[in-house]
């Protein structure tokens, strides 16, 4: 790809991993890493969506993360409430729309209320979308979509011949464009049940940097690598 073809990715996704190790390495409790990670997300999210990226999806909490200690899960849930009711005001000012993907159950009511507030306050914004995946699982999203498809079919609202990639996507949590660039921080080389449908032809970049340290400069480096990729989509 040469410079004239440097097209800003439309949909970027980040598996924000390594908060715990970032903190442990410094002799702090893991939760301090989550707090630092939330600060990084606030700045980085605005930076990325100000560059013409239309959608930024971030993995904040997986359905499997409920397996962690009670103390860590409680800390994260309290942090989410704090973020969505107080700290993320800048997204509103920056004209960014915040949406959530994932299952509601078994999230606490105060977390659900904070999410609803954040969504409501930013619903008319149109510069870009921050899609926060919280209590999210990629397999769960496909199962939930299949359930809705079955229901619509049963009620005669869906003609099976009309089911294709685009119409299927409308049954997902949100109808978002395919992911162009997926980044995972912290050196782990796996997907961990993240956006399985949307990642189909995504370019993937894995960096050893722990998420709290994944600042604007690190993103710039990843974007440079993306521009050097040759996307073929099965062609030649």
Site for ligand IPE (CB under 6 A): which residue of 35, 51, 65, 209?
A: 65
**N- to C-terminal Cα separation, the chain:** 14
Is 131 among the residues known to form the active site?
Answer: no
Catalytic option among 3, 65, 113, 161: 65
Least distance in Å: CB of 162 to ligand IPE?
Answer: 34
Q: Rounded to a whole number, what is the largest CA-CA distance in the chain?
A: 59
Please report which helix (H) or strand (E) contains residue 168, including its range. helix 165-169
- Window 4-43: contact mask with Mg ion (x via CB under 5 A): -------------x--------------------------
Quick one: DSSP state of residue 132? E
Query: Three-state DSSP class for 131?
Result: strand
50 among known catalytic residues:
no
Q: Which does 59 bind (CB under 5 to 8 A by kind): Mg ion, ligand IPE, none?
A: ligand IPE
Pick from 11, 12, 18, 183 the residue near ligand IPE by CB under 6 A: 18
Least Å distance between CB 38 and ligand IPE?
10
CA distance 208 to 220: 15
**How far apart (Å, rounded) are the C-alpha atoms in residues 15 and 206?**
10
Alpha-carbon distance values, 160 to 114, 152, 173, 199 (Å): 38, 10, 20, 24
Selecting among 17, 19, 131, 135, the annotated active-site residue is 17
112, two tokens = 């659900």
- Establish if 53 lies at the interface with ligand IPE (CB under 6 A): no
Report which residue's Cβ sits closest to ligand IPE: 20
Q: Does 221 bind ligand IPE (CB under 6 A)?
A: no
95: left (phi over 0), alpha (psi -120 to 50) or beta: left
Smallest gap from residue 14 Cβ to ligand IPE (A): 9
Interacting residue ranges for Mg ion, rule: CB under 5 A: 17
Catalytic residue set: 17, 65
Interacting residue ranges for ligand IPE, rule: CB under 6 A: 15-21, 59-62, 65, 76, 186, 188, 190, 192
């Amino acid at each position: 790809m040469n410079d004239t073809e440097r097209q800003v990715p439309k949909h970027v996704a980040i598996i924000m991993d390594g908060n715990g190790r970032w903190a442990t390495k410094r002799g702090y409790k893991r939760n301090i890493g989550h707090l630092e990670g939330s600060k990084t997300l606030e700045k980085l999210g605005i930076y990325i969506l100000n560059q013409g990226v239309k959608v930024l999806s971030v993995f904040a909490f997986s359905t499997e993360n409920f397996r962690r200690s009670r103390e860590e899960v409680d800390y994260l849930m309290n942090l989410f409430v704090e973020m969505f009711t107080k700290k993320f005001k800048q997204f509103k000012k920056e004209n960014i729309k915040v949406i959530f993907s994932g299952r509601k159950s078994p999230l606490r009511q105060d977390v659900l209320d904070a999410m609803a507030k954040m969504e409501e306050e930013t619903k008319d914004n149109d510069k870009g979308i921050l899609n926060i995946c919280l209590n999210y699982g990629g397999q769960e999203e496909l199962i939930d979509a299949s359930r809705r498809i079955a229901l619509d079919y049963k009620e005669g609202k869906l003609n099976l011949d009309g089911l294709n990639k685009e119409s299927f996507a409308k049954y997902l949590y949100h109808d978002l464009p395919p992911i162009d660039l997926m980044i995972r921080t912290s050196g782990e080389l796996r997907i961990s049940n993240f956006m399985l449908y949307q990642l189909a032809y995504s370019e993937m970049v894995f960096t050893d940097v722990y998420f709290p340290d994944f600042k604007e400069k690190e993103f710039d480096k990843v974007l440079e690598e993306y521009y050097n990729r040759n996307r073929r989509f099965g062609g030649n």
